[in-house]
Amino acid sequence: MLRHRRNGTFRPGFSPYRRSPGSGKQWTWKGWMSRILVIDDDEAIRSLMRRGLERAGHEVVEAPDGAVGTRLFEASPFDLVITDLFMPEREGIETILDLKGRFPDVKILVVSGGLSFGGRVVDELGPLGDAEALGADASLKKPFQLNEFVEVVGSLLSSP
């Protein structure tokens, strides 16, 4: 813990970080920090999302697929789960159904590039629309601008 110097004395136990009563959110100098789980099989995309979210003041944990992500969530719930749809081991739809079935209040953002065969996009919004119909709170099509991504995350976290 940090000690605060006040009138020449130190106050033991002082911390500039406060926890919100009844929630996992923590107050930092940037505002309320949320815990976010990012699930994507593409390490570069995961890293990009993590860096953007950390710059916005959030705590981020990464998982390479839905199976690992679900285990991480069970161990310590998150304020928001961001998941890709198409991954090895356990896909995003299975992850959404499982998490929403057991933790109905969890907020989920789906990010996906969609399906393509031979350079042609097939049913552009189909998988993202399906994910929202099955419980995802929002969806974002890859590729996306990082500022757009952080804005969508912020609006999800601030909604009831």
In a domain, 33, yes or no: yes
Tokens standing for residue 132: 């929202």
Question: Where does the pLDDT of residue 93 fall: very low under 50, low under 70, confident under 90, or very high at 90 and above?
Answer: confident
Separation between Cα atoms, residue 9 and residue 78, nearest integer Å: 38
In a domain, 88, yes or no: yes
pLDDT of 21 reads 39
Range of the domain at 31: 18-115+133-158
In a domain, 4, yes or no: no
Centre a 10 Å sphere on the Cβ of residue 16 and count the other Cβ atoms it contains: 9
**Under the phi-then-psi rule, with left for phi > 0, alpha for psi from -120 to 50, and beta for the rest, what region is 90?**
beta
Model's pTM, two decimal places? 0.73
- The 10s digit of each residue's pLDDT in 115-159 is 543 443 444 445 566 666 677 888 888 888 999 999 999 999 988
- The 10s digit of each residue's pLDDT in 137-149 is 888 888 889 999 9
In a domain, 3, yes or no: no
- Tell me the CA distances in angstroms from 109 to 35, 82, 83, 140, one per residue in order: 14, 5, 6, 8
Q: Could you tell me where the beta strands, DSSP code E, fall in 12-151?
A: 18-19, 26-28, 31-33, 35-39, 59-63, 80-83, 107-112, 115-117, 120-122, 138-141
In a domain, 101, yes or no: yes
CATH number, domain of 36, equals 3.40.50.2300
In a domain, 125, yes or no: no
Q: How many domains does the chain have?
A: 1
In a domain, 32, yes or no: yes
